[in-house]
Homo-oligomer: A and B are copies of this chain.
Amino acid sequence: MSPQPLASLHLQSKEAGSASRKRTKQGEQTRQLILRAAVSMASSEGLESLTIGKLATELKMSKSGLFAHFKSKEDLQLSTFNEACTIFNEEVMQPALKTRKGVERLWTLCTVWLEYGDRAVFFGGEFFTNVAAEYDGRQGPMRDVVAKTMRDWLKYMERLIRESIETGELKLDTDAEQIAFEFNALFYGASLAFQLNMEQTTGDRMKRAVKDKLLSVAVDPVALNELFCSAK
């Protein structure tokens, strides 16, 4: 498996950032800082309302200084989305890849995803949920990128569920597509509910939902339950 399952987006990022392709090291660091701030802004206010002007005010930079990094509003939006994918990849997908293939990896992915949200450094769920809600009623290149990312994510979870069937931990007739659909919907929906009502029980409820579902298709529920207790 590629270490970057959302690689298609990274390709797109390079295209989108063509204006600044030959960046100096310092320029690259500045761009990075700008993008992290943009991800943070978009997490609460959305990607559509993100403009070079707003970002310049936030970062106390000149608009022309920002234009040196992003040729247009669209370039800034796409680069910001790709930056959020990179962060998600580093913080959620990579730690899971370090664990054993099978349910342990799947469970780590889900719990790290939740902890990542809890840390609230940048609420992944919120960014992706808000962006999904923002573009689901629109047309255009950003909608296509957002929709493709969700499809890629579903396929990625499906793969991890199939691997758990191959390791003999989940039953042979487990419907990987159905479970990936449910986990994806649960995470998006729970992130929305959490942001709105700040119920501190959300993380525990999510873990229980994921655990119950996996136990219902486990070959050996007792062994799986032990794994849930011992795993991070």
A112→B110 CA distance, assembly (Å): 31
- A192/B130 in contact, CB under 8 A: no
By a CB distance below 8 angstroms, the chain B residues around A109 are: none
Contacts of A130 in B (CB 8 A): 133, 136-137
Binds B, one of A31-39, A65-73, A208-216: A208-216
Q: Mark A97-109, 1 if CB is under 8 A from B, else 0.
A: 0000000000000
Contact A147 B197, CB 8 Å, known A134-B133, A137-B43, A209-B182: yes
Query: Which residues of the other chain, B, contact A186 by a CB distance below 8 angstroms?
Result: 182, 185-186, 189
Counting chain B CB atoms within 10 Å of each CB, the highest count among A146, A150, A193 belongs to: A193
Copies per assembly: 2
Contacting B at CB under 8 A, from A160-201, are 178, 181-182, 184-190, 192-193, 195-197
A-side interface residues, number (CB < 8 Å): 40
A195 and B151: CB pair below 8 A? no
Contact A197 B137 (CB under 8 A): no
Which residues of A, 86-140, contact B by the 8 Å Cβ criterion?
126, 129-130, 132-138
Let me know if A44 is at the binding interface, CB within 8 A: yes
Q: What B residues does A146 contact at CB under 8 A?
A: 196
Closest chain B CB from A190 CB (angstroms): 4
B132–A196 contact, CB under 8 A? yes
Give bound CA distance, A126 to B136, whole Å.
9
B residues within 8 A CB of A43?
Answer: 137
Indicate whether A54 reaches chain B with its CB closer than 8 angstroms.
no
Asked if A28 lies at the interface with its beta carbon under 8 angstroms from chain B, I say no
